[in-house]
Amino acid sequence: MAVPMLLSPLVYLIFLSTAVCSQPERKEGLPYNLQMDSHNFRHILSWQAEHDPAVPASYNVLYKDHRSLNWLSAKQCSGISQLSCELTEEFKERSSVYYAQVQSIRGTQVLNSSVLHFVPSAQTILGPPEVNITSCPNCINVTIKLPTSHLREKGKLLSLIDIYEELDYNITLKSLDGEHKRPRQKTTKEVFSTVIGDLYPSRNYCVSVEVRASLNRHSIPSSWKCVSTDLAARQVSGMIPKPRNARITSVNLHSTLQWDAPRFPKGNVTYTVRSKSINFPGDTYENVGTRLRLPECDVSSLSAYGDYVLQLRAEAGQLHSAWVTLRFKPMDDTVIGPPDVRLKSGSGALHVDFSGPFAEHEQGKWPLKKYYGSWNYRILYWKKGSTDTDLTSASWVTQVDTKHSSEILSQLEPWTVYCVRVQAVIPEWNKTGELSRELCEQTTHNGVTPVWIIVTVLVGSMLVMVTAVTVCFFSSFYLYRLTKHIFCPSYVFPQHLKEFLSKPPSAPQPFPPLPQEELLVYDKLTVISEESQTLSDGSGDEASRTPEHPQGSAQGDSDSGVGEASGKA
């Protein structure tokens, strides 16, 4: 067991030496780890450096802004030995981008650090503000004083309001229930007060305030300041907290009074709402809703043309809160909702139909147009694909105002997708309604035929007609020749053959059949006589003999001809 115990320190030393050796080497005397510690525009630059104490070292701080090319030497930071320097006087332009670096000088050796970037207005830390709190009945009064900056102008220290013009402040309220951040508020004053109300009686509350700018979210909150709410004032008043954040939500004359419940330690809380008309001075309050358990009340039953004062209070047993008063004028305060829109594409245009919005009552729906009289519709349309959200001011959005319930959008590019939104506009009341949902439709052909298509179709039609006429002509001519050749041949059939072919097959043949085996040989005999009478008689006999055997005579003539030819040969 002794060997492992001895090896453990050895392994640790080897590991430690490896870790140290693995770190990158840093030049001796080189400034590193530059940091800017800035609070309320007081800027202090600090750095680190390692050097031999036996060799003296001095440092120069160099700076420039984004508009300069040359480095400048800080007046209070030249040849110093400490590892920090204040640059408040050098960084006077609070919105400029500054660059800073540290130069180390050891004998003849000069080493420059890396460059630090710094923007005073965006990177300085704001706060903490001064906070004082006092107790009041059911509330805490908080007084806030903004910190003073370290920037001077004409010999005077500037406040944070002088620099930023407007600041945001957040109040964090801490009690037994935990921490609660209140809504962010804005201020343009150096010293101001605010009241935190609707608090529990005789309870300890602590407050912390944080100040920020829109361009600078770096801040330090104030320390906690605590106080207890005033119990005696609460007992004397005999009241419960008022309902909070009362507001009226009205859309298309459908109106609802809403509020947030008060902070009350015990008991069931109910609410009463009443109204009074301002148009009639002698009018008294009338209850609109009593013993309401939910933090809302429908006040749509009030006349749309009236001007009313609404009052609201919380009740718990014999206790009740003070009245919360609101003024309500339905025609002015209601929000005009979006109309119903139908979009259709046809003949190169978009047909837009719209109706409403409507006010809903027990009797049914009534168009708001009947209440206001003067009424226009505004159509916004654009090519699909644009991403801007502010349609009313975008250059690529076209607006068309109309008094009718439909509109035709023409002069559009064919085969292009357009998107449309519609809203109601009431010029006499200076009211603009909400936009309808986005509808998109593709345009079709605009019905205007391009010239090149007309020329192409015309030339093509002419070519087709010429080709068709030519083919029909030659086809007709060919059929005519063929028909004529078949039914009206050019040669004449012999008459005796026509007669022969027209006789029936049973008729006697004009010539006896000739045996095929028998070969008849005829010789032509010419008798020459000295007397012409004899010649003529011989010719008559020959002629009388010829019709009896025409075929044999013909054959004989041919044979005699052959014989004469052979004899001559």
Query: According to the model, what pLDDT value does residue 522 have?
Result: 67
Q: Tell me what pLDDT residue 235 has.
A: 41
pLDDT band at 412 (very low <50, low <70, confident <90, very high): confident
Percentage of residues of the chain with pLDDT beyond 70: 77
Residue 392 has pLDDT above 70, yes or no: no
Strand 324-328 and strand 167-175: the pairing is: unpaired
The residue-averaged pLDDT of 216-231 equals 85
Whose tokens are 């002015």? That residue is: 332
Question: 3-class SS at 427?
Answer: helix
**Is the separation of the CB atoms in 209 and 169 below 8 Å?**
yes
Q: Which domains does the chain carry?
A: 32-122 (2.60.40.10), 125-237 (2.60.40.10), 244-333 (2.60.40.10), 340-442 (2.60.40.10)
- Asked whether residue 227 carries a pLDDT value surpassing 70, the answer given is yes
- Say yes or no to pLDDT of 2 above 50: no
Name the maximum alpha-carbon separation found in the chain: 194
Percent of the chain scored above 90 by pLDDT? 28
Place of tokens 């406040």: 159
Instruction: Please report which confidence band the pLDDT of residue 5 belongs to, taking 50, 70 and 90 as the band edges.
Output: very low
Residue with tokens 């001796």: 28
The pLDDT assigned to 258 comes to 93
Q: Which tens digits make up the pLDDT trace of 171-222?
A: 999 988 788 888 999 999 999 999 888 887 778 889 999 999 988 989 999 9
> Do 285 and 275 meet the contact criterion of CB atoms below 8 Å apart?
yes
Looking at residues 147-165, what average pLDDT do you find? 88
β-bridge mates for residue 45, sequence order? 36, 85
Task: Say which residues have a Cβ less than 8 Å from residue 117's Cβ, sequence separation at least 6.
Answer: 97, 98, 99
Contact yes or no for 319/240 (Cβ under 8 A): yes
Task: State the average pLDDT over residues 330-345.
Answer: 89
Is it the case that residue 561 has pLDDT exceeding 60?
no
The residue-averaged pLDDT of 132-152 equals 87
| C-alpha distances out from residue 201 to 125, 242, 321, 352, 359, Å | 37, 14, 14, 61, 45
Residue 483: alpha-carbon gap to chain centroid:
75
The DSSP H or E segment spanning 250 is strand 244-251
What is the pTM (predicted TM-score) of this model?
Answer: 0.43
Q: Which helix (H) or strand (E) holds 258?
A: strand 254-260
Q: Which residues, other chains included, contact 149 with Cβ-Cβ below 8 Å and sequence gap of 6+?
A: 40, 41, 157, 158, 159, 160, 162, 163
pLDDT classification of 115: cutoffs 50, 70, 90? very high
**In this structure, what token pair is assigned to residue 500?**
């022969």
**Side-chain half-sphere of 298: how many Cα atoms within 13 Å?**
5
- Check if the beta carbon of residue 210 is closer than 8 Å to that of residue 170: yes
Distance, in Å, from the CA atom of 313 to the CA atom of 290, rounded to the nearest integer, reads: 10
